[in-house]
A and B are shown apart, each in its own frame.
Chain A
Amino acid sequence: MQLKMFVLSGAAVVFWLAPLTALDKKVGWHKSIQGISLCIATACAVTAGNIARRLSEQAEIEAIKTRAITADVVDEIATSAYISQQQRQQEAEAILNPVEHLERALALTCDEGEDSERSLNEQSDQLAKTYTERSENDKAERALQLKAKGWGKAKIILEVWGVSKGGSPKYKAAEAEYKRLVEE
């Protein structure tokens, strides 16, 4: 297509200039050839211009497509990075669970006596229960917020529980918890 355009452009210039400079206007058939060649030059230039315009529009569309694909890829990378960051954060929170810390501290200091051990165990259980309730409340609140935003179930479970969709026991447990919390 490009070759055709360049050939037509060259032909237009040649048909425009060559007969005018090479032929004599006073000779009848020379003048006729000049007129014909000028008509041909105009037609060639119009055709070449139309082809070039079409190619230019196609190039613009291709550029838009390339930009859209690049934006999609960047968005996908950003989303996956965000999800992996959330998963790492949840794992770190699970590791740094305050209940476990307390239990560890209690285990270190529980040598003092049976009574104190019992009372500390009760305190620990109470704290664990409170923490679980708070965590559940937080999860329920977050899940409801996301649901109100129009998020789907699988996406909410991935966001709040950090479990991707599938038939794994973790996902089933998270799904059951989601149903329980949201339906409450």
Chain B
Amino acid sequence: MRAAYLANYFITGCAASSLLGWIASLHPMSARAIAFLAAATFILWGLCWLLDFSVSGWLKISVQNLQALLLAVLAMVLIGAGVFLCS
């Protein structure tokens, strides 16, 4: 059951990424906003990788779990955006 809920949250992330892509395709201004959001997220993601020990202590999870979470976030964004762009 744990795998089921992780998979569901993963699908949520993918669908949300596709939705952000769809919002970005509506208007150039929304595309800029989404691009800014993506850039901020990417910087935050990189900082989390660099400061993984501090962030894991702050979130009260293990470093391995934090790294798995970051990889899952990357995979969600790539899959969601990829599905939207390639369709």
A interface residues with partner B (beta carbon < 8 Å): 5, 8-9, 12-13, 15-17, 20-21, 25, 31, 34-35, 38-39, 41-42, 45-46, 48-53, 55-56, 59
Quote the shortest CB–CB distance from B69 to chain A (angstroms).
Answer: 15
A45's partner among B1, B2, B8, B25 (CB-CB below 8 A) is B8
Determine the distance from Cα of A51 to Cα of B8 in the docked complex, in whole angstroms.
Answer: 10
Determine the distance from Cα of A141 to Cα of B16 in the docked complex, in whole angstroms.
Answer: 75
Main DSSP-derived SS at the A contact region: helix
Q: Quick check: A42 and B1 within 8 Å, CB to CB?
A: no
Q: Quick check: B15 and A42 within 8 Å, CB to CB?
A: yes
Q: Quick check: A38 and B22 within 8 Å, CB to CB?
A: yes
Q: Quick check: B1 and A55 within 8 Å, CB to CB?
A: yes
CB neighbours of A39 from chain B (8 A):
19
CB of B39 closer than 8 Å to a CB of A? no
Q: Quick check: A16 and B22 within 8 Å, CB to CB?
A: no
Given contacts A21-B87, A34-B22, A35-B22, contact A45 B5 (CB under 8 A): no
**8 Å CB interface, B2-25 against A:** 2, 4-5, 7-9, 11-12, 14-16, 18-19, 22-23, 25
Q: How many A-B residue pairs have CB under 8 A?
A: 74
Given contacts A38-B15, A42-B12, A49-B12, contact A9 B22 (CB under 8 A): no
CB neighbours of B7 from chain A (8 A):
9
Q: Quick check: A16 and B15 within 8 Å, CB to CB?
A: yes
CB of B53 closer than 8 Å to a CB of A? no
Given contacts A12-B15, A13-B11, A45-B12, contact A56 B22 (CB under 8 A): no
Quote the shortest CB–CB distance from A181 to chain B (angstroms).
Answer: 57
CB neighbours of A48 from chain B (8 A):
4, 8, 11
Quote the shortest CB–CB distance from A5 to chain B (angstroms).
Answer: 7
Determine the distance from Cα of A42 to Cα of B5 in the docked complex, in whole angstroms.
Answer: 14
